[in-house]
Structure 1
Amino acid sequence: MTTTQLHDVTPIKIAILAMGGQGGGVLADWIVDMAEHAGWWAQTTSVPGVAQRTGATIYYLELLPEEAVKAAGRQPALALMPTPGDVDLIVASELMEGGRAIQRGLVTPDRSTLIASSHRSYAIGEKSAPGNGIADPNKVIEAGRTAAKRFMCFDLQSLAEQAGSVISASLFGAIAGSGTLPFSRADYEATIERSGKGVKPSLKAFALGFDAAQGAPDFPDFIDTTRPVPAVPQTAANARVKQLLDDIRTNFAPAAQPMLVAGLRRTLEFQDLAYGKEYLEHMRGIHALDKQYGGDAKQWALTSAAARYVAVAMAYDDVIRVADLKTREARFERVREEVLAKPDQLVYTTEYMHPRLEEICGTMPSFLGQAIENSPKLCKWLEPMFRKGRFLQSGTLTGFLMLYGLAGMRRFRRSTLRHKIEMRGFHEWLNLITQVAPGNYELAVEIVNCRRLVKGYSDTHARGTSKYQKLVQAARNLIGKPDAASRLKQLRDAALADDKGTQLNKLLAQGDAAAA
């Protein structure tokens, strides 16, 4: 392990980047307390981000030994903010915060030690992106290996959870284990003990972080982001579900079987056994089409893509499904884990609900919902009732029963207006795939993949559906053209690039101009 030697007459400069609720302030206070008890001068300031996950708080610390102060003959003037290229130690509570520190120029190869947890807490932009907005963690690893003098990166969040503590304690241990600061392990541990809060789990997390840092190389390896392909389960709790699994194993290409299992699980969870059988019947037709037009030589691309998006199309996000997801035991447990609730603590989750008139009509029998939507007078009278969102505590008896009752409407879903609308669009999509595949296999696959735009509910669903419909019309216009598949893929990528569809509209306009 390499130990960083810091100058003994200038301040040690430390930047901590942490999201809201991760204890960045606690970590900064611990370092100040430790330094002051060792006879050092210490100062900390903080610059808060925009919100808990759209911007991290930067805590900046400067530490100066008493000997340097005496030599200067006056009190030190310590800086309030970090200066790019002038920071000795950078601590990031999450991998992408380490990347932002590199972008800001805080990390330099001649002096900086960068300590970052390798776990991810996805940013708002990553979670709300129309496509896959998750940033590549290895780009940060690559940048850190170039930008830092030392770069230590491992999962400090999991170490904290293992100890029943929070990440600030394991980060404190990693700082100690890195040997970057001129303090002993006993100094660090005494600081935690003086805090008087959660001392035992904090010391355990500290020890785990310390040991991990002691054994860490100066530069981390790249993170393996691949996922193992699951096998088709050999058995199931329900004998009829096992028959469906056996059907997948026997009658479908092995390359498509893992996604078929995922699709079957989703449709069963969404509705019932009959709906799962219906999903497999749709897939049986697509698999036969795939086999007829060369799917074996093309790794069954059509079946594999359809296995995913047929399930997504059948298990759409309606009000009933949202209520179902919000009342599941697993969700309550996950919320408790995220807020680190103790067994004797009560946790109440406040849900923000904003169903539009369209969602209300969608849960009604199709004839009634259609009648309301077709009546301008009724719509004008009813719409003001649904202009504002509502807050609902799903953990209270009243709130839970309201959502639970709404989730129980699943048995009536097939008769609702929303189901009628979704299935009409679904069958039009399947018919287009069947029409295109004989003449252009690749274009048929791209048409299948266009379905990824239709997701969510309310405004999100409306925006995605609008762009999807534009892509379907474009696909119809591209039939018979030699570059049809690549052109549709280009349009789909543009549709996924932004919420408003600006890039898609631009490309479509260019295509119309060229055709004219």
Structure 2
Amino acid sequence: MNEHVSIDALRTERLATDKPLAIAVLAMGGQGGGVLADWIVSMAEAQGWMAQTTSVPGVAQRTGATIYYIEMLPERDGRAPIFSLMPTPGDVDVVMAAELMEAGRSVLRGLVTPDKTTLIASTHRSFAVAEKQAPGDGIGNPETVVEATDFAARRTIAFDMETLAVRNGSVISASMFGALAGSGALPFPREAFEATIRAGGKGIEPSLKAFAAAFDRARDKPRDSVSAKPVKRLDPLPATAGHADLDRLLARIRSEFPEVLHAMLYAGVKKLTDFQDPAYAGEYLDRVATLHSLDRAQGGADKDFAFSQQAAKYVAVAMAYDDVIRVADLKVRQSRFERVRKEVGAKDDQIVYMTEYMHPRMEEVCGTLPKGLGLWIENRPSLFNFLDRRINKGRRVKTATLFWFLGLYMVSALRSRRRGTLRHSRELEHMNVWLKAATDLLPENYDLATEVLATRRLVKGYSDTHSRGLSKFDRVLSALPMLRNREDGADWLRRLKQAALLDEGGVALDGALKTVASL
């Protein structure tokens, strides 16, 4: 026998109108988003609520954050509610973003709404693949994100939670948990949040310190200002470096150069000492001193030594070129292994293997050889091509294994012989031609000569990346004969440089060069 039950009666008996409190956490790998979600669920359950968390991973590391979604309700009559597995646009009460651009993406997804959502975001940046791969400045504008969140969210709490956490010896999940507590968006006392951290049993004190600092920031100063262009922070020239050779370099900076150059020269000396040795950094100061004397003779003091400032920056960049020796050196440094372990959250008893993708070419091999031997191989095409067919292939290198670590370590040990390599000879030759082009222009057109120094930023990397940058650099400087007698020559050269940075293939640069040719 079939029993007839009306739909209205079914709705009265089974459906509830209670709305769960919904929280979405957007975090990337290594930022502890899962830990933060677990803390929120554990705290809610300890307070007599029922809670559920789910996660939807991003496509890959730093091309999409994982979304951790939490719903919670007070326990009622012992009945278990049915929670959603995914956030629904317009229904999220709290959105937490562990990075500024992820906050912007949460707005685009519709998770943040002006009538409902409290947005809690860290203002620090962890650059996406699309931002890093741009030839020029591909960084997203943080001001645009902040303006969007101001309009889209009911309330916004945004400050640098990453820096705050590191300063207190913890990770960003702890400071985000503190910001959540300080926001008052959840109906739980501060003590409940702290008890949840203590129940974790590991790293309790640093986590509590970061939590407390973020709690106070969320209450006292919930917003940080952001800028479209990051502020350049150069360390001031110290009184001593604690090493005789380095102290002599500092003394030279202090005695031979005006104060406006000190910070940049100090940065250059640090970079080149790390790249090679103090003697190499001394060669850098010799070159900049020569350029500065020319600058002074051409009235550079009236222009705040703009030519010398660019020389201090870009001569260091040119001398610290990327080569196979440098790459190998960076791959086997202990600091890198420690950083990677920290980023992936490895425990003390866990082994971490890093797999590098490398694709060496015979050009890099010849560049690492002594100049005479490298040229000898390059001048014999049949031998060069024979070796290239065996060298030029992709390899997956596990840096933490003994075989590959020793191999890379031996390559990095060639640093002492770098000055005799074919690559070093070519870099010095190219740098001398570049600097001569700038100094020849200096008496005629000070601003254009200064801009010639700045075009060095086009040359970077090694292998194919270096070749493309070098090609663009040469094409930009090919316009100098057309610009040297123009008062606006520096402006046009700057436009050419910007065009070269717009796309990898140089299409924009081709158009800009045609424009210059038509002037």
Match runs of 1:274-293 below 5 Å: 274-293=279-298
Q: Among residues 63, 72, 82, which one is paired with 2:88 in the alignment? A: 82
Match runs of 1:307-456 below 5 Å: 307-342=312-347, 346-456=351-461
Q: Among residues 20, 28, 34, which one is paired with 1:19 in the alignment? A: 28
Q: Report the residue type matching 1:15 in the other structure.
A: A
Would you say the 8 A contact 1:117–1:154 is kept in 2?
yes
Residue matched to 1:481: 486
Structure 1 residues 248 and 177, CA, compared in 2 at 3 Å: closer, same or farther?
closer
Determine if the alignment matches structure 1 residue 168 to structure 2 residue 168. no
Which deviates further from its counterpart, 331-340 or 112-121?
A: 331-340
Structure 1 residues 21 and 433, CA, compared in 2 at 3 Å: closer, same or farther?
same
Residue matched to 1:215: 219
Would you say the 8 A contact 1:455–1:464 is kept in 2?
yes
Partner Cα separation in structure 2 for residue 201 and residue 319 of structure 1: 43
Q: Report the residue type matching 2:499 in the other structure.
A: A
Query: Alpha-carbon deviation of 1:438?
Result: 1.0
Would you say the 8 A contact 2:71–2:83 is kept in 1?
no
Would you say the 8 A contact 2:295–2:305 is kept in 1?
yes
Residue matched to 1:92: 97
Structure 1 residues 268 and 43, CA, compared in 2 at 3 Å: closer, same or farther?
closer
SS in 1 for 2:501: helix
Query: Alpha-carbon deviation of 1:325?
Result: 2.2
Structure 1 residues 416 and 78, CA, compared in 2 at 3 Å: closer, same or farther?
closer
Determine if the alignment matches structure 1 residue 28 to structure 2 residue 33. no
Query: Alpha-carbon deviation of 1:43?
Result: 4.8
Q: Among residues 63, 66, 69, which one is paired with 1:57 in the alignment? A: 66
Residue matched to 1:5: none
Structure 1 residues 340 and 357, CA, compared in 2 at 3 Å: closer, same or farther?
same
Residue matched to 1:4: none
Determine if the alignment matches structure 1 residue 501 to structure 2 residue 510. no
Which deviates further from its counterpart, 319-328 or 35-44?
A: 35-44
Structure 1 residues 106 and 211, CA, compared in 2 at 3 Å: closer, same or farther?
same
Work out the percentage of aligned pairs sharing the same amino acid.
51
Partner Cα separation in structure 2 for residue 13 and residue 118 of structure 1: 23
SS in 2 for 1:312: helix
Query: Alpha-carbon deviation of 1:500?
Result: 2.6
Partner Cα separation in structure 1 for residue 62 and residue 169 of structure 2: 23
Partner Cα separation in structure 2 for residue 228 and residue 26 of structure 1: 33
SS in 2 for 1:82: coil
Would you say the 8 A contact 1:114–1:148 is kept in 2?
yes
Query: Alpha-carbon deviation of 1:425?
Result: 1.0
Would you say the 8 A contact 1:163–1:202 is kept in 2?
yes
SS in 2 for 1:351: strand
Which deviates further from its counterpart, 152-161 or 398-407?
A: 152-161
Partner Cα separation in structure 1 for residue 130 and residue 351 of structure 2: 31
Partner Cα separation in structure 1 for residue 379 and residue 276 of structure 2: 28
Which deviates further from its counterpart, 123-132 or 303-312?
A: 123-132
Partner Cα separation in structure 2 for residue 135 and residue 450 of structure 1: 23
Would you say the 8 A contact 1:192–1:202 is kept in 2?
no
Q: Report the residue type matching 1:431 in the other structure.
A: K
Would you say the 8 A contact 1:178–1:213 is kept in 2?
no
Structure 1 residues 464 and 350, CA, compared in 2 at 3 Å: closer, same or farther?
same
Would you say the 8 A contact 1:164–1:201 is kept in 2?
no
Partner Cα separation in structure 1 for residue 276 and residue 195 of structure 2: 57
SS in 2 for 1:392: strand
Residue matched to 2:274: 269
Residue matched to 1:3: none
Query: Alpha-carbon deviation of 1:160?
Result: 4.4
Structure 1 residues 349 and 47, CA, compared in 2 at 3 Å: closer, same or farther?
closer
Partner Cα separation in structure 2 for residue 264 and residue 157 of structure 1: 29
Query: Alpha-carbon deviation of 1:180?
Result: 0.8
Partner Cα separation in structure 1 for residue 239 and residue 70 of structure 2: 57
Would you say the 8 A contact 2:87–2:111 is kept in 1?
no
Query: Alpha-carbon deviation of 1:338?
Result: 2.9
Would you say the 8 A contact 2:288–2:308 is kept in 1?
yes
Q: Report the residue type matching 1:408 in the other structure.
A: A
**TM superposition score normalised by structure 2:** 0.86
SS in 2 for 1:497: coil
Query: Alpha-carbon deviation of 1:220?
Result: 0.7
Q: Report the residue type matching 1:19 in the other structure.
A: M
Which deviates further from its counterpart, 296-305 or 86-95?
A: 86-95
Would you say the 8 A contact 2:30–2:345 is kept in 1?
no
Partner Cα separation in structure 1 for residue 198 and residue 297 of structure 2: 71
What does the per-residue CA deviation read over 1:366-410, in whole Å, with 9 as the maximum and x for residues that have no partner? 222223223331232122223322233434443333222212222
Determine if the alignment matches structure 1 residue 10 to structure 2 residue 19. yes
Partner Cα separation in structure 1 for residue 74 and residue 347 of structure 2: 41
Query: Alpha-carbon deviation of 1:319?
Result: 0.8
Would you say the 8 A contact 1:9–1:68 is kept in 2?
no
Partner Cα separation in structure 2 for residue 210 and residue 229 of structure 1: 27
Partner Cα separation in structure 1 for residue 258 and residue 47 of structure 2: 68
Partner Cα separation in structure 2 for residue 322 and residue 105 of structure 1: 42
Q: Report the residue type matching 1:493 in the other structure.
A: Q
Which deviates further from its counterpart, 35-44 or 485-494?
A: 35-44
SS in 2 for 1:289: helix
Structure 1 residues 81 and 231, CA, compared in 2 at 3 Å: closer, same or farther?
closer
Structure 1 vs Structure 2 CA RMSD:
3.1
Partner Cα separation in structure 1 for residue 156 and residue 210 of structure 2: 19
Query: Alpha-carbon deviation of 1:211?
Result: 2.8
Q: Report the residue type matching 1:365 in the other structure.
A: P
